[in-house]
Amino acid sequence: MEQITLSNGFRICLERREYLKSCAVGLYIGSGARFETPQTLGVSHFIEHMLFKGTETLSTRRIAEINDDTGGSLNAYTAKEFTCLYARVLTCHVRQIFSVIADMTLHPALREAELETEKGVILEERSSYEDSPEDLCMDSFYESFWPNDLLGQNIVGTRESIAGMTSDVIRAHMKQYYVPERMVAVFSGAFERSEALALCEEYFGALQNTNNPLRYSVPETAVFVRGLRRDLQQNVLTLGLPGLPLEDPRIHALTYACAILGGAGSSRLFQRIREEMGLVYSIDAFHTAFLGTGCVCISMALSAEHERDALLKTLALCRGFADTVTEDELERAKMQTLSAVTMALESPASSASRIGRNVLLRGKVLPEDALLETLRSVTLDEVRDTAHEFLRPDSFSLCAVGKIKSDKQYRSILRSDSEV
C-alpha cells in the first residue's frame, strides 16, 4: 500500500491489485457524533443523507443514474468518529464515480425543501432504532457509559436536534470538518495510479488546510444500572466494562479474550448458558474500541424469568475466566480471527475500509502480513493478563430493556457471589 499526502494535508492511499478488473473507492472524513455539539448532534449523519440529494450541477436522479450506468454500488455511512462515502466499480469507471463522490462532498446543493423532507426520513430512522430492543439497549448503554461525552450518543441525533437542523448548521459544520487534513481517499483494486493521483489533486488539491486535525479527549466512564421498560416477549441485557482504546497494542489480546468468553459457538458463555442451561436465545461478548477509550460488553436476549440465573452464571464464568484460559481456546480464537481477517482482506472493499479507517484515525495502517503476524504472535500469558485487568465481574454496568426488574434488584444480582 502506497500513501501520498498532498501539500494541504489530504491523504491518498493506493493499494493496487492488478489481477482484478474492478476498484473499490472510498473517501473517509473525520466527521462523526464525537465531534459534534449537543445542539448539532446528528449533523454528520444528516450531511451523509443530504449529499445524495444533489449537487450544484447534479440532481438526485442524475447521481442515481450515474451509479446505475456504471453498474456500481455508491453508498455512504456515518460512524461515531467518521463519515465514509464509498463505491466499487469496474476500472474503466473509476474517474466517473470518484468525480461524483468529490462533487457530492464539495458542492452539495442543500436545498431547504429537501432538507425538510429528509428530516422526516431521519426521524423515521430514529424510530426504527427505538423499536429495536437490541439497538435501544446498546445505544442506552453507550449513553450511560460515556455520560459526559458525545461518543455515547446515537449518531442519528435526538428528535430535537434533528428538527433544528438547517442548511446554515450543515454548512458551518462542513466548513469546519470537511477539510483536507481530515480526509483520506482510498483506491483498492485495479486502477491507474496516475489517474487516481490526478483526480485527488484536481478535486481536493485546492482546499485550504485549516489546522483542524482529529483531536479528542479521553472520556470518563460511569458505573451504572439502567432499565428501560418495554412490553416485549424477551428482554435484552447489556453488561459492560471499560476496555482498551483503538491505539493500544493489547487490543488483540482483549479481542481474543472476548472471543473465548462469548464470541463464537464454542465459547464458554454460549456453550454453558445457552447450549447446556437453555437460559438465553443469544449471548455474545465483544470489545468495541475508539480513540482513547473502549468497552467490553456482554449482550444477551432472554425471558425475564431467566435473567437472574443467566446473570449469576455469566458473572461466575467471568470470575474464573482469566486463570483458566487454555492454549487450545486461544488457538481456536486465533483461527477464527485469522480466517475472518484473511477473507476480508481478499475483498478490495473490506481492505479499503481497513486502510481508510486506520489512516484517518491512527495516521497509519499495518501492512497485511504484519497484521496477520501480530494476530498470530499473541501469547496465552498476554490474553490472561489482559483478561485479569479488564474482565472484572465486580465492576460491571448493566442496561436492561423489556419487562425488567428494579435497579435495586439488578444491583443485588451484580453484587452477588452466588452461582446457579
Catalytic residue among 36, 48, 81, 181: 48
Cα(190)–Cα(23) distance, rounded to whole angstroms? 5
Strands 235-242 and 22-29 come out as unpaired
Tell how far CA 110 is from the center of its chain. Answer: 26
The whole-angstrom separation of Cα 197 and Cα 260 is 44
End-to-end CA distance of the chain, in Å?
52
User: Rounded to an integer, what distance in angstroms lies between the CA atom of residue 39 and that of residue 405?
Assistant: 34
**Which residues touch 153 (CB under 8 Å, ≥6 apart)?**
33, 41, 142, 143
β-pair partners for 45: none
Residues 6+ apart with CB under 8 A from 370: none
Cell numbers for 298, please give them: 456482554
In this structure, the number of other CB atoms found within 10 A of the CB of residue 59 comes to 12
Helix (H) / strand (E) element for 23: namely strand 22-29
Contacts of 281 (CB under 8 A, 6+ apart): 234, 274, 301, 302
Q: φ, ψ for residue 129 (rounded to 5)?
A: -65, -45
Strands, DSSP E only, in 178-312? Answer: 183-189, 225-229, 235-242, 282-290, 293-302
Look up cell 445542539; give the residue.
Answer: 39
Helix (H) or strand (E) holding 25: strand 22-29
Please report which helix (H) or strand (E) contains residue 254, including its range: helix 251-262
Query: What distance in Å separates the CA atoms of residue 100 and residue 74, rounded to the nearest whole number?
Result: 9
Q: How many CB atoms lie within 10 A of CB 266?
A: 14
Rounded Cα distance, 67 and 174, in Å? 24
Q: How far is CA 215 from its chain centroid?
A: 18
Q: Is 48 a catalytic residue?
A: yes
Q: Which positions are annotated as active-site residues?
A: 48
